Each structure stands twice: as structure tokens, then as C-alpha cells.
């Protein structure tokens, strides 16, 4: 968890947390470090506005797969390394068979008062910053901050459908339908 004063931030790995940390810094809230962002809140952290970020489950798996292929996976999601990974299609099929609902479990560890979707960045963060009375000149810089929404892997329709079924709670909770 990162304490930014007006809010605290925590999020699962591979959801756009690096972008959020950079946006928070540009908005004048100070620096943050990824490894702190991956620490969920504790009971004593309930005093502050809690903010998190999520990514569409199929895109989340694409990012995880890509990072596994490049040996850049975070401790909080090492369990994904146990999946068959000769191709993304095999990786996703293995996920659906062996770990259905695991993304939902992971996201639930980071329940927050405000949850932004990386797909809605930068506008969702700009709205948050404006609601916190952030200096408008700082907010204007956020419009130009590039967002990496996905890693470009092709996803067969059956894979997307299977992931949507196994992660139905995430699709429902964050309006990914």
C-alpha cells in the first residue's frame, strides 16, 4: 500500500499500477514504489480513501503470460508460473482448467473505495484527481501520459469466452461486459 496523503493505493501486479504510480507523481502526490503497491490494505488502513486499479481478466492474463516469457513476474502472482506456457492459448486453457476464479480472488484482496479500470485511463484518474481538488495545471499533464492497455497477443474467441465465464464476478463487478 502506498500512502499518498489524500488517498492510499494498492493493486495486484499487472493491472496498470506502474501507470497509476506515475500519474500520482505527476499530479503532485509524491513518489511510490511498485513493490509497496502490491501490499493489500490491513484493517488499520481504513481511515483513508482507498484506491485500486484493475485490468480486464483476459488482458491481465496476456500481460502475465508476456511477463512470464520475459522473466519479469512479480512475487504476488508467481503461482501463474505453474501453468503450461508454450503459447498463450495453452497458457489460458491451462488457467481455465487449473485456476478458475483465481483472478477474482486476487482482485478481491484489493477491494477499495474507488477502483479504476486501466482501460479508462487517463480519464478515470483525472476525474479522481479533480474530485480531490488537485491543481488543474498538474491534472492537464495527465492527458498526455501514455497508457499501456494490452500487450498485443491474439486471443481466440473460445479463450476469451472461457476466461469470461471463469471470472464472471470480475466482469460483473467492474462492468467488463
Q: Where are the chain's structural domains?
A: 2-173
DSSP annotation of 87 reads S
Rounded Cα distance between 162 and 177, Å, is 14
Q: What is the rounded average pLDDT for all residues in the chain?
A: 88
pLDDT at 157 (0 to 100): 92
Average pLDDT over residues 131-145: 87
pLDDT of residue 165: 95
Look at residue 148 in the predicted model and tell me its pLDDT: 73
List Cα–Cα distances, 160 to 39, 56, 88, 89, 164, in angstroms: 29, 11, 12, 10, 6
Instruction: Give the C-alpha distances (Å, rounded to integers) separating 146 from 31, 40, 95, 97, 138.
Output: 18, 26, 30, 35, 16
pLDDT in tens, 65-116: 888 877 666 666 778 888 877 888 999 999 999 999 999 999 999 999 999 9
What DSSP element (H or E) covers 164? helix 157-166
pLDDT at 49: 93
CB 121 within 8 A of CB 15: no
Over residues 136-147, the mean pLDDT reads 84
The pLDDT of residue 59 is 93
Which range is least confidently modeled, 86-100, 121-135, 144-158?
144-158
Amino acid at each position: 500500500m502506498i500512502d499518498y496523503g489524500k488517498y492510499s493505493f494498492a493493486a495486484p501486479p499487472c493491472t496498470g499500477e506502474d501507470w497509476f504510480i506515475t500519474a500520482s507523481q505527476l499530479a503532485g502526490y509524491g513518489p511510490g514504489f511498485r513493490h509497496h503497491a502490491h501490499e493489500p490494505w490491513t484493517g488499520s488502513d481504513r481511515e483513508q480513501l482507498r484506491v485500486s486499479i484493475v485490468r480486464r481478466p483476459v488482458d491481465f492474463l496476456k500481460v502475465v503470460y508476456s511477463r512470464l516469457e520475459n522473466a519479469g513476474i512479480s512475487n504476488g502472482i508467481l503461482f501463474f508460473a505453474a501453468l503450461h506456457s508454450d503459447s498463450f492459448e495453452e497458457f489460458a486453457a491451462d488457467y481455465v482448467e487449473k485456476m478458475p476464479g483465481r483472478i477474482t480472488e486476487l482482485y478481491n484482496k484489493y477491494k477499495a473505495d474507488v477502483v479504476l479500470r486501466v482501460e479508462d485511463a487517463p480519464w478515470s484518474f483525472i476525474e479522481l484527481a479533480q474530485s480531490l481538488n488537485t491543481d488543474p495545471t498538474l491534472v492537464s499533464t495527465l492527458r498526455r501520459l501514455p497508457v499501456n492497455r494490452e500487450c498485443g497477443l491474439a486471443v481466440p474467441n473460445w479463450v476469451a469466452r472461457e476466461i469470461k465465464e471463469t471470472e464472471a464476478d470480475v466482469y460483473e463487478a467492474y462492468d467488463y461486459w
